[in-house]
Structure 1
Amino acid sequence: MELFIDERFAFLAEWYDPSAALLRRYQLLYYPKDGSVEMFDMKNQRTFLRRTKFDELHPEDLFVGNRVNIFSRQLNLTGYGDQYTANKLGSKKERTLAMIKPDAVTKVGNIIQMIYDANLIVTKAKMTKLTWKQAADFYMEHQSKSFFNNLVQFVSSGPVIAMELMGDEAVTTWRKVLGPTDSGVAQKDAANSLRGQFGTDGTKNAGHGSDSLASAARELEFFFPSTTGHGPSNTAKYSDCTCCIIKPHAISEALTGKILKSIIENGFEISALQMFNMDRVNAEEFLEVYKGVVAEYTNMVDELCSGPCMALEIHATDAPRTFREFCGPADPVSNKMVLSCCNVYLFPLGFPQKSYIKSLYPQALHTSFQFSFKILYITSLSLQGFMKVITES
């Protein structure tokens, strides 16, 4: 992209201020020539942050619906700030619904890697188990088709993973990754496609993709409602398991697929999965057990609220011990267990960031599950409101 001397991109952004329990609105300006940012307070009509170089924000992070962390403030990008930005950055960006069907859930790592390889990103994700009625409602447009009952029966027979994908021409791109609807045809004509590799027939064909922007909007609303409710519930079991979180840096560096693939190939069951964003208040609450215990506590909080995370429930016999042994030393630099790190590690990307974070203390496990799979949708509550939900959940 050719850059003009003073080219800038403008976005409307929101930040929840937990101390004041207020939603604050800003105009965020990004200058690609030198990677600097500027913020303008919309309500008070004054500069909030003067133009400052900020190397952690990149052009690919700038799209409506994303969350970006600017100097420890997690901003929701809610709209384009001017027509130039909309024309320049928003013309091809689309959202689509991707669903991994029951026959391919164990291939989630491979599939997410295929998504990254197609230059798409996962912005929302949740493992769920649809009831027959929910599956019928989702596929209501096929109600008159002969395959309807078999399709609904199959999709409701086990867990599925729903994802919101974002990228240039996402609807078309994802359907190309999927391949032909009939897996037999896919195996002949598109052997490297998702259905060519993991599908069986026209119904057990590994995945689903919206066929238009209108369908994508309806299907995304089904799994990830923008108004009331939280969509189909997740699949957390809360027993014989441990909690693992894939941290923001691992997600931003496209390691999610490799991590999930490694976990499954080593004999662990991922019994629940959900993508979420934490604000600082929630990150501090989640990591409270480490406060005053480890020197890296502040860095751990900073990392956890710096972008999207993915919570996993790992199901296995004696899961806390066996999964920790699988993950290896907490500190990849010294190659020995370091209590002060309080992380488990698989893909080394430098201390103190790790691809995983998991409860080190047994008493923290139950709290981790309650937090990760029952109330992580609450990302804009005050601490008092957050604790109230914990009490009532």
Structure 2
Amino acid sequence: MDNKDRFAFLAEWYDPTACLLRRYQFFYYPNDNSVEMFDLKNQRTFLRRTKYGDIHAKDMFVGNRVNIFSRQLNLVDYADRYTATKLGSKKERTLALIKPDGVPKIGDILEMAIAANLMVTNAKMTHLTWSQAADFYVEHQSKLFFNSLVQLVSSAPVVALELMGDEAVSVWRKLLGPSDPEVARREAPQSIRAQFGTDSGKDVAHGSDSLAAAARELEFFFPTAICHGPPNTAIYLDCTCCIIKPHAVAEGLTGKILNSIAAAGYHISALEMFNVDRANAEEFYEVYKGVVIEYVDMVTELSLGPCMVLEIHGTDVAKTFREFCGPADPEIARHLRPTTLRALYGTDKVKNAVHCTDLPEDAVLEVQYFFKILDG
């Protein structure tokens, strides 16, 4: 077999039963969408080459998590030069910081990023202190606009996004457009700043200007060390939980769903992306065990890849938001309530776009599970 017919990665899987990190060579064959795994410690085949419909070529990049027969594998490195050259040469990560004036347009901004083939691989809403904002923009401290910039960015919540894609740094900067929205409207009318910016102070969003800056700025919001970076904005009061499920994230529906939520008048008080392992998914969905026949499939779906978790804040919000999401079965939703989230974006009872809190008394507990326990 020609190695050009396959991509090879080093992958890790945490075995919760043995409390061990197991390492594999993971092979993906794009011609027939099949996978194969080789156990590096025991030096033997772990999974013979098998067709697997739930994985695709776009999932193949270092840093991604893929779910293979209920095992969530972390792709930690390329295992041969061909794969690294073919898949890794242009892949970059960059920071997109949505400033307070841009947060109301987060759905539109995400849709534009996704349309530009940029994948959201991490996200967090946070409210920076003056000191944190000053630290982030320390390279501009001698500039005349420094104080006003820090004041703006620390005045209300921001959303930090990690974007990944081919030449992500330059693609995102081009998508943003010139820093002055008036100039952007003349020179790049389709850009984010042209469409949503007000003036040179309120320019919607920030983008890293180099790979080195991207690495530094991503570490600020999404540190690789034990610390967790700036805190989330969850308030745990008069709230309910919404999860944009992994299939909807993978299908590029995040921006559309956020726009639908905003258009219905709901206030998102916290937002964060999580990679939920199977044990946590089982714990979160435990109330459905033995009650809902789709329980096992629901657990698998939640642990299949990144999901986006929202705290929705408002009066009697658990009840009204549950109605807004619609029946669990999207087919029924399309017949009875065609404007609900599941009617618009769901496929079936498992891939039904969003989870929402069913019982009002569970709302705060579900929000706390993600924003206090998993982000703790």
TM-score computed with the length of structure 2 as normaliser: 0.95
Distance 2:84 2:342 in 1: 41
Question: Which of 86, 104, 107 matches 1:106?
Answer: 104
The change in CA–CA distance for 1:203 and 1:61 in structure 2 (over 3 A counts) is same
**Contact residue 14 and residue 20 of structure 2 kept, 8 A:** yes
For residue 279 of structure 1, what is the aligned residue in structure 2?
Answer: 277
- Describe how 1:81-120 pairs up with structure 2 within 5 A: 81-120=79-118
Question: Which of 190, 200, 207 matches 2:198?
Answer: 200
The one-letter amino acid of 1:227's match is A
For residue 268 of structure 1, what is the aligned residue in structure 2?
Answer: 266
The one-letter amino acid of 1:9's match is F
Question: Which of 353, 358, 361 matches 1:360?
Answer: 358
The one-letter amino acid of 1:280's match is R
- 1:73-106: CA deviation from partner (whole Å, max 9, x where unpaired): 1111110011111011111000000010000101
- Describe how 1:141-220 pairs up with structure 2 within 5 A: 141-220=139-218
Q: Percent same amino acid at aligned positions?
A: 65
- 1:29-51: CA deviation from partner (whole Å, max 9, x where unpaired): 11111111111111111111111
Distance 2:2 2:112 in 1: 34
- Describe how 1:334-353 pairs up with structure 2 within 5 A: 334-335=332-333, 346-353=344-351
The one-letter amino acid of 1:46's match is R
Cα distance, 1:337 vs structure 2: 11
Distance 1:180 1:130 in 2: 25
After TM superposition, what 4+ stretches of structure 1 lie above 3 angstroms from structure 2? 3-6, 335-338, 343-346
What is the DSSP-based 3-state SS (H/G/I as helix, E as strand, rest coil) of the residue aligned with 2:349?
coil
- 1:152-180: CA deviation from partner (whole Å, max 9, x where unpaired): 01100000000100000000000011000
For residue 220 of structure 2, what is the aligned residue in structure 1?
Answer: 222
Q: Report the more deviating stretch, 241-250 or 183-192.
A: 183-192
Cα distance, 1:15 vs structure 2: 0.8
**Contact residue 245 and residue 357 of structure 1 kept, 8 A:** yes
- Describe how 1:301-340 pairs up with structure 2 within 5 A: 301-335=299-333
Distance 1:55 1:327 in 2: 28
For residue 138 of structure 2, what is the aligned residue in structure 1?
Answer: 140
**Contact residue 68 and residue 76 of structure 1 kept, 8 A:** yes
The one-letter amino acid of 2:235's match is K
- 1:212-261: CA deviation from partner (whole Å, max 9, x where unpaired): 00000000000000112011000001111110000011011111000000
Question: Which of 272, 288, 297 matches 1:290?
Answer: 288
- 1:5-55: CA deviation from partner (whole Å, max 9, x where unpaired): 861110011111111111111110111111111111111111111111112
Q: Which runs of 5+ in 1 are unaligned?
A: 378-392
Q: Which runs of 5+ in 2 are unaligned?
A: none
Cα distance, 1:321 vs structure 2: 1.1
**Contact residue 237 and residue 364 of structure 2 kept, 8 A:** no
Distance 1:15 1:93 in 2: 23
The change in CA–CA distance for 1:161 and 1:277 in structure 2 (over 3 A counts) is same
Question: Which of 123, 126, 130 matches 1:125?
Answer: 123
The one-letter amino acid of 2:136's match is F
For residue 385 of structure 1, what is the aligned residue in structure 2?
Answer: none
The change in CA–CA distance for 1:36 and 1:123 in structure 2 (over 3 A counts) is same
Distance 1:114 1:304 in 2: 25
For residue 27 of structure 2, what is the aligned residue in structure 1?
Answer: 29
The one-letter amino acid of 1:132's match is W
Aligned residues: 372
**Contact residue 298 and residue 350 of structure 2 kept, 8 A:** yes
- Residue 222 of structure 2 corresponds to residue 240 of structure 1: no
Cα distance, 1:132 vs structure 2: 0.4
- 1:178-215: CA deviation from partner (whole Å, max 9, x where unpaired): 00011111122112111001111122100000000000
- 1:116-167: CA deviation from partner (whole Å, max 9, x where unpaired): 0101100000000000000000000101111111100110000000010000
What is the DSSP-based 3-state SS (H/G/I as helix, E as strand, rest coil) of the residue aligned with 1:24?
strand
What is the DSSP-based 3-state SS (H/G/I as helix, E as strand, rest coil) of the residue aligned with 1:103?
coil
**Contact residue 272 and residue 314 of structure 1 kept, 8 A:** yes
TM-score computed with the length of structure 1 as normaliser: 0.91
**Contact residue 247 and residue 310 of structure 1 kept, 8 A:** yes
Distance 2:343 2:225 in 1: 37
What is the DSSP-based 3-state SS (H/G/I as helix, E as strand, rest coil) of the residue aligned with 1:149?
helix
- Describe how 1:60-71 pairs up with structure 2 within 5 A: 60-71=58-69
